[in-house]
Structure 1
Amino acid sequence: MSRRRLFDAGTLRHWPLPSLGPGCDKESRGRVLVIAGSREIPGAALLSAQAALRAGAGKVRVATAQSVAMHVAVAMPELQVIGLPETREGGFDLAGLSLLDKALEQADVVLVGPGMQDEEAAIAFAQALRRRRPELPAIFDAAAMGAASRDPLPGPPVLVTPHAGEMAHLNGQTKASVLDDAEGAASEAARWWNSIVALKGSTTVIAEPHGDLWVHEAHNPGLATAGSGDVLAGLIAGFAARSASLVQAAAWGVAVHARAGERLAGRMGGMGFLASELLAEVPALVQGLAAAERGEAVRINRPTDAAPAIPVRRSAG
């Protein structure tokens, strides 16, 4: 029987991330491989990679366009960066797959798509990656999402992260029809694509292939800004690296992303903050949620820290 659950950051206190323990090291916190960026949008790789680290991942490798790889490495010295050969249109050439064998072997989760150009090349690259490591937890974002919607993929369901416009592009609907029935659109896509679908918006719906739904409401227009989706994708990857399932990682990513936006809106106003400014809010939020689950009194001196939990609800079906 499928279930429909409402959740927010408060709910996560009762759905804690897998425990790392006081003696954990960067290896036990997990490795993320981020395949992202392009010569026109190199910042997407940086936003996703930093978000994964802020979520608690131990190590992050970035594979990005050869033309900007050195710039990405200099901009964020915490990363190991791999430069990939590019197509004429600015995508990643399949010839670069062999450069990722070691990184794929060592990764605990792979994120593909933020800031990638040349949709056809991105889809081909994501499909080839999945065939190479079908068991590896995978998140397909932006231009790479068509890899899940076009052809059946081997291995367990991947997670795709469209907003309404991207969903309309992927399934041939209008954006208005997706917005009119977000739960139905996400559920149908999850079933047909055999994927976990996180349909983003003021109401975000996480749909599983077998019918379960997770629904989050956050009316924060400030999050509708360039790079915000890259941050969310990176957060999900970081939580997944810490051994959360893709569904739990998506729920944590969505709720923490929304709460970070609420905090910035409380200090700076409802609109005008940058996606990169969300990142500094994440560690204290995650720590606060973990401490609350353990029953510890932790004071985080930020506005809107005491938003109430939304109860878990079952549908009549």
Structure 2
Amino acid sequence: MSTERPLGPGGTTPITRELLLGWPLPAPGENKEARGRTLVVGGTAHTPGAVLLAGEAVLRAGAGKLQIATAAPVAAALAVAVPEARVVPLPADDDGNIAGSAADTVLELAEQADALLVGSGFSSPDPTVALLERIIPRVDRPIVVDAVGSAYVTAHHEGLRHLDGRAILSLNPSEVALTLRIDDDELAADPVACTRKLAAVTGAVVILGGEGKLVAAPDGAAWETRAGGPGLGVSGSGDVQAGIVAGLFARGAEPAQAACWAAHLHGLAGERLAEAQGAVGFLAREISPCVPALLEGHAAP
């Protein structure tokens, strides 16, 4: 991997095209099996769109195969909406959340996956923690934890350490603050230090979204991308970013590499859409179709 002079007092390395050219992703291989299988576990009976956005982003990032495990009431519709995926219905509770009894099914699917994405579309912390407590400690696969999925990490700061660094948290500022159990003002005062702290505490790579993005690794290394813009602050955008991360993870990228590539590509996609449509008003579903061309543009000199 190439190196560049750190930015500012936080000591972050800028993510640029030149950096990524010196940190190439694994070769795509000759078929879908070579690019990995991703399992997305998420959604509720009321939020199937989040899983759709995440799953499509997995494939746009170049992963070869996609499985989605989601609440049974919406599984059939999601299977039609994402025909590229195998969609597995999971039992739901009376509020539409995936029930804890789904854990064994998820674990069986996880055994065949190269990477897992959990949390996209989850809406309630308590049932999320109850479900993930029965899944994550028993999983030995690279994991991306998104959004409300971080409630598990808030409750169990050591809960990803058995993965030996093969975990990524893809979070917005409020989620990082909640997971660290600090207030938003403390995070805003020094986001680099807080992101580094969360990475060190959890043993996971952390992506902090927002205006530009930060990535921190457990060893203290940190990166920053200035790509992005206000238009990425839209419902569903975080689900897309998490899907890009998981797709790259499934392809065999290292955790920090997958996080840095995904954060930068997500930001660049927002810039491209802003140029074409305006600074705000584009939709999250429009982000991931930009990714293949951006990947191609950052994969060759």
After TM superposition, the score normalised by the length of structure 2 is 0.91
Q: What code does the residue aligned with 1:95 have?
A: S
Q: CA deviation at 1:236?
A: 0.4
The CA distance in 2 between the partners of 1:165 and 1:171, in whole Å, is 10
Residue 100 of structure 1 and its aligned partner are, at CA, apart by: 2.3
The aligned counterpart of 1:181 is: 190
* Secondary structure, counterpart of 1:206 in structure 2: strand
Q: Does 1:91 align with 2:100?
A: no
Worse-matched range after superposition: 229-238 or 147-156: 147-156
Tell me by how many angstroms 1:185 deviates. 0.8
Distance 2:125 2:220 in 1: 29
1:54 aligns with 2:65: no
Amino acid of the structure 1 residue aligned with 2:122: M
1:259 maps to which residue?
268
Query: Do the aligned partners of 1:33 and 1:103 also contact (CA within 8 Å) in 2?
Result: yes
1:199 to 205, 208, 211: 208
Could you give the per-residue CA deviations for residues 127-167 of structure 1, whole angstroms, max 9, x where no partner exists? 3222222x310011111112223222222232112211112
SS in 2 for 1:284: helix
What residue is the counterpart of 2:46 in the other structure? Answer: 40
Q: Which residue matches 1:118?
A: 124
Cα offset for 1:87? 2.2
How many aligned residue pairs are there? Answer: 288
> What is the root-mean-square deviation in Å for CA atoms of aligned residues?
1.6
Q: Does 1:141 align with 2:149?
A: no
Q: Report the structure number with the largest CA radius of gyration.
A: 1
**1:306 aligned residue:** none
1:268 to 257, 277, 280: 277
Partner of 1:150: 155
Amino acid of the structure 2 residue aligned with 1:248: Q
**Using a 3 Å threshold, how does the CA distance of structure 1 residues 34 and 219 change in structure 2: closer, same or farther?**
closer
2:240 maps to: 231
Residues 37 and 114, structure 2, Cα contact 8 Å, conserved in 1:
yes
Out of 116, 120, 132, the residue aligned to residue 138 of structure 2 is: 132
In structure 1, C-alpha distance between the alignment counterparts of 2:18 and 2:43, rounded to whole Å: 33
> 1:97-124 deviations in whole A, cap 9, x for unaligned?
1222332111000000011122122123
Is the 8 Å Cα contact of residues 9 and 259 (structure 1) preserved in structure 2? no
Contact 1:148 1:195 (8 Å CA) reproduced: no
Q: Which deviations, in whole Å up to 9, do the C-alpha atoms of 1:201-246 show, x marking residues without a partner?
A: 1132111112111112235100000110000000000111110011
What percent of counterpart residues are identical? 36
Matched, 1:103 2:109: yes
Structure 1 residue 247 corresponds to structure 2 residue 256: yes
Residue in structure 2 matched with residue 311 of structure 1 by the alignment:
none
Paired AA for residue 141 in structure 2: L
Q: Which residue of 2 aligns with 1:25?
A: 31
Contact map agreement 2:205 2:259 (CA 8 A) in 1: no
The structure-2 alpha-carbon separation of the partners of 1:183 and 1:206, relative to structure 1 and needing over 3 Å to count, comes to same
- Which residue identity lines up with residue 130 of structure 1 in the other structure? I
Please name the residue that 2:287 is paired with. 278
Deviation beyond 6 Å, 4+ runs, structure 1: none
> Aligned to 1:5, which of 4, 13, 21?
13
Q: CA contact under 8 A between 1:9 and 1:252: conserved in structure 2?
A: no
The answer to whether the 8 Å contact 2:228/2:271 transfers is no
- TM-score in terms of structure 1 length: 0.87
Matched, 1:67 2:73: yes
The question of whether the paired residues in 2 share the 8 Å contact of 1:149 and 1:193 is answered with: no
- Give the Cα separation in 1 of the matches to 2:268 and 2:18: 10
The answer to whether the 8 Å contact 2:142/2:163 transfers is no
Contact 2:171/2:208 (8 A) holds in 1: yes
Q: Is the 8 A contact 1:236 1:249 kept in 2?
A: yes
Deviation of the 1:71 alpha carbon? 0.8
Query: Which whole-Å CA distance do the structure 2 matches of 1:35 and 1:143 have between them?
Result: 12
Higher relative contact order (CA 8 A, sep 6+): 1
